[in-house]
């Protein structure tokens, strides 16, 4: 199990899609932000503000990035989403992720 040390975590969860997607916000000493989250089976669309580096730690996932076709991930796998865009994701089994927001 990997750990993030010397971080600040927001106690309350971020809750989306009736709780089928939830996350907690982690802030690092350099001011950078990640969210650690869980997605349950379903299809979701997310809009980005910052560029996002999505690390899917476990789960069965298909993703459609802007201008690309649907593709199946082989987790653990990382994909990157441009700022001010959106992506679609199909979750087939419980999915554990870490999203890094890049300013």
Q: Is 74 in the site for a copy of itself (CB under 8 A)?
A: no
- Please, are residues 59 and 79 in contact by the beta-carbon 8 Å criterion? no
Instruction: Please report whether residue 2 would count as binding a copy of itself according to CB under 8 A.
Output: yes
Taking the complex as a whole, how short is the minimal distance between the CB of residue 96 and a copy of itself, in angstroms?
5
Provide the terminal-to-terminal Cα distance of the chain, rounded to the nearest Å. 27
Task: Give the x-and-dash track for 19-58 against a copy of itself (CB under 8 A).
Answer: xx-x-x-xx--------x-x-x----------------xx
Give CA–CA dist 23/35, Å, rounded. 6
Question: In whole angstroms, how close is the CB of 75 to a copy of itself at the nearest point?
Answer: 12
For position 7 contacting a copy of itself by CB under 8 A, the verdict is yes
d(CA 103, CA 94): 29
């Amino acid at each position: 199990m990997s750990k993030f040390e010397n971080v600040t975590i927001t106690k309350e969860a971020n809750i989306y899609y009736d709780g089928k997607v939830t996350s907690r916000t982690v802030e690092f000493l350099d001011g950078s932000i990640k969210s650690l989250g869980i997605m349950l089976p379903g299809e979701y669309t997310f809009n980005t503000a910052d560029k996002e580096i999505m690390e899917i730690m476990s789960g069965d996932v298909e993703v459609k990035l802007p201008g690309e076709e649907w593709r199946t991930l082989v987790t653990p796998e990382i994909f990157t989403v441009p700022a001010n865009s959106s992506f679609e994701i199909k979750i087939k089994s419980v999915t554990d992720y870490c999203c890094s927001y890049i300013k």
